Amino acid sequence: MSQTAREGEIVSTASDAAIEVRSLHKSFGSLEVLKGIDFHVGKGEVVCVIGPSGSGKSTLLRCINLLETPTSGKVWVSGEDVTDPDVDIDAVRRSIGMVFQQFNLFPHLSVLENLTIAQRRVLRRSKTDAEAVARTNLERVGLADKMASFPAQLSGGQAQRAAIARSLSMGPDLMLFDEPTSALDPELVGDVLEVMRGLAADGMTMMVVTHEMSFAREVADRVVFMDDGTIVEEGRPEAVLGAPQHPRTRDFLARVLNPSRRVSLPARDPASG
Amino acid sequence: MTATTTTAGRTGGLKQDGRRRRLTRRQRTRLLRAVQYAAFVAVGLLIVLKADWPRLSQDYFNPEIARQLFPDVLSTALKNTAIYTAMGFVFGLAFGLLLALMRLSEVAPYRWVANIYIEFFRGIPLLLWLFFLGYGVPTATGAQLPGQPYSPIVLGLGMPAAAYMAETIRAGIQAVPRGQAEAARSLGMSHGQAMISIVIPQAFRIIVPPLTNEVILLTKDSSLVAILGVTVGTKELTKFGRDALNQLVNPTPLVIAGLCYLIITVPLSLIVRRLEAHNNRAR
């Protein structure tokens, strides 16, 4: 009886959220990467996921559009259970934009074709319509002049912005970012973050796996800290980043924010700095 | 020992240490190279001066004999070689792509069938396979394969070529980074759409050089179809050369036939080299 009520509850929360994840487990062979994740992203919310490498952040993100198949647990996207064996995963993925660390632009196609190919093949848009959408999105990311270029001719920052525009051209309800600036030269990170800031300001639902703490602090509605396959701490960015409660969070932030210093000796810090 | 050499090398030929003047390292390299060039020129001169040129020309480059070969050597033999190669290649490419996709399939029986096919045709001699098609099958069934004279040629050259090309194409598909298919799938493309629009076009760009090598091998293998018992109109270069050798009692036709193969293969080799250089630059 109470069981039924609880399940009813879950379904109702799931339909409100853009992403709802319940007791998600993922193993690669004997290696358990996600050890029971409960997680949600509300509509219009920007959630940044931080944590050391190998903590399972990217795997969590990739489980949401089923680039990885969860070992157990449930994932809802816009109220639809994507872990249901009957789900049309291609249809679900159409509504989820995905931005990769390595951009993954299609090197044999021009920038414009990169943006139009899925619109034409998947959404069956006419060439004219697809190109109009592509043009709008390239302008949005500041690459209107690169339409005819090929990916190899773009800088890393331009390539990542083109990749974002490619995702946007499908008209997604939410966007997943998998360390979008980690493969960029430091001076090119700003342009990409600027585009992402703009998306957040326009009300896009975003889940961002990132190491850019200042971006998380400034743009995120919520920050989630993951370590060793679990969510250790989550909350407002000023809380998680400014006054972390958990020692693992503190340890991680100390290492990220002061990479040259030794951690866990906070007393020596101010004097020797 | 090493120390002495180094010191001598560094101070150069200027240093007199009681014995002979020592060469610097660079001078030694130059001297060695000059010796090699000199030997090369000497051997070349020896060949040019000692060879019996009129005799060689009479036997192997006899203009009288050569004149009799034209225009048939080009209009029939070279043309047929090119046609047989093209037919084998087109069949091999289409069937090879199918086999490559079968080898990469998640359905195990497809993989088994493709593996057995590939191992079989890579393992048996082409000549044996041609005998089987040309004489084995007719002996058993009492009838020739339908579609003479081309069907045994297409199957004879194309089926083994498919096995080799399948492996090349599979390697090409696997060389396309995983992220490409992931990006395509993330945009909502089905597995098939991602393969056709994104992965296979990139795979083919990667495998154009090895595939061109395949054409070169196939060009030469086409010489073996001579054993299928061809008529005057279907002679290719090797058969043409051999028949002319018997008829004219002079090896010049074989030399001419050989040169005709080079007309096809050398440009292909040059294309492969350019493509490889281009690919290296693009990366």
Res. A3 pLDDT band, cuts 50 70 90: very low
Q: Do A118 and B205 touch (CB under 8 A)?
A: no
Statement: residue A181 has pLDDT above 90: yes
The number of angstroms, rounded, from the C-alpha of B279 to the middle of its chain's C-alpha atoms is 19
Residue B142, pLDDT score: 81
* Average pLDDT estimate for A27-41: 94
Cα dihedral sign for B219, B221, B224, B230? negative
Q: Report residue A8 as tokens.
A: 């009813």
Q: Tell me whether the omega of the peptide bond preceding residue A247 falls within 30 degrees of 0, making it cis.
A: no
> Chain B within 8 Å of A98 (Cβ-Cβ)?
yes
Q: Do B185 and A107 touch (CB under 8 A)?
A: no
Residue B181, pLDDT score: 96
Give which of B143, B204, B140 is closest to B168, Cα–Cα.
B204
* Average pLDDT estimate for A105-124: 95
**3-state class (DSSP) for residue A262:** coil
Helix (H) or strand (E) holding A50: strand A46-50
Whether complex ipTM tops 0.85: yes
Q: In whole angstroms, how far apart are CA B212 and each of A112, B16, B133, B208, B219? A: 31, 59, 26, 6, 11
Q: Do A93 and B188 touch (CB under 8 A)?
A: yes
In whole angstroms, give the CA distance from residue B171 to residue B184: 20
pLDDT in tens, B126-149: 999 999 988 888 888 887 777 777
Mutation pick from A58, A69, A90 vs chain B, by most beta carbons of B within 10 Å, is A90
How far off is chain B from A107, nearest CA to CA, in Å? 8
Residue A268, pLDDT score: 45
Cβ-contact B152, B228 below 8 angstroms: yes
Q: Do B183 and A90 touch (CB under 8 A)?
A: no
Three-class DSSP labels, B243-273: HHHHHHCCCHHHHHHHHHHHHHHHHHHHHHH
In whole angstroms, give the CA distance from residue A133 to residue A135: 5
How far off is chain B from A273, nearest CA to CA, in Å? 42
Can you say whether residue A87 is alpha, beta or left, with left for phi > 0 and alpha for psi between -120 and 50 degrees? Answer: beta
Residues 168-227 of A with CB under 8 A from B: 170
Cβ-contact A230, A37 below 8 angstroms: yes
Average pLDDT, chain A: 89
Residue A269, pLDDT score: 44
Please list every residue in chain B whose beta carbon sits closer than 8 Å to the beta carbon of residue A98.
182-183, 186-187
pLDDT in tens, A136-155: 999 999 999 999 999 999 99
pLDDT in tens, A53-64: 889 999 999 999
Looking up tokens 């033999």 gives B77
Residue B278, pLDDT score: 75
Q: Do B188 and A94 touch (CB under 8 A)?
A: yes
DSSP A135-157: HHHHHHTT-GGGTT--GGGS-HH
Q: From chain B, which residues contact A within 8 Å (Cβ)?
A: 177, 179-180, 182-190, 193, 197-198, 201-202, 205, 282
Residue B87, pLDDT score: 94
Please list, in sequence order, all residues whose beta carbon lies within 8 angstroms of the beta carbon of residue B156, skipping any fewer than 6 positions away: B88, B126, B129, B130, B133, B134, B224, B225, B228
Mutation pick from B186, B196, B197 vs chain A, by most beta carbons of A within 10 Å, is B186
Statement: residue A101 has pLDDT above 90: yes
Q: In whole angstroms, how far apart are CA A210 and each of A53, A99, B179? A: 10, 12, 19
pLDDT in tens, A217-241: 999 999 999 999 999 999 999 999 9
CB contacts < 8 A, A to B, total 62
What angle separates helix B108-123 from helix B79-103, to the nearest 10 degrees? 150
| pTM of the complete model beyond 0.80 | no
Cβ-contact B150, B87 below 8 angstroms: yes
Buried b / exposed e over A32-59, threshold 16 CB at 10 Å, is ebbeebebbbbeebbbbbbbbeebbbbb
Residue A39, pLDDT score: 93
Statement: residue A266 has pLDDT above 70: no
| Percent with pLDDT over 70 in chain B | 90
Residue B151, pLDDT score: 86
By Cβ distance, the residue of B179, B189, B205 closest to A121 is B189
In whole angstroms, give the CA distance from residue A246 to residue A252: 10
Residues of chain B with pLDDT below 50 are: 1-14, 283
Please list, in sequence order, all residues whose beta carbon lies within 8 angstroms of the beta carbon of residue B126, skipping any fewer than 6 positions away: B156, B157, B160, B221, B224
Give which of A97, A100, A115 is closest to A171, Cα–Cα.
A97
Cα Rg, chain A, nearest whole Å: 20
Q: For residue B123, which amino acid is it?
A: G
**3-state class (DSSP) for residue A176:** strand
Least confident segment among A23-27, A66-70, B116-120, B273-277: B273-277
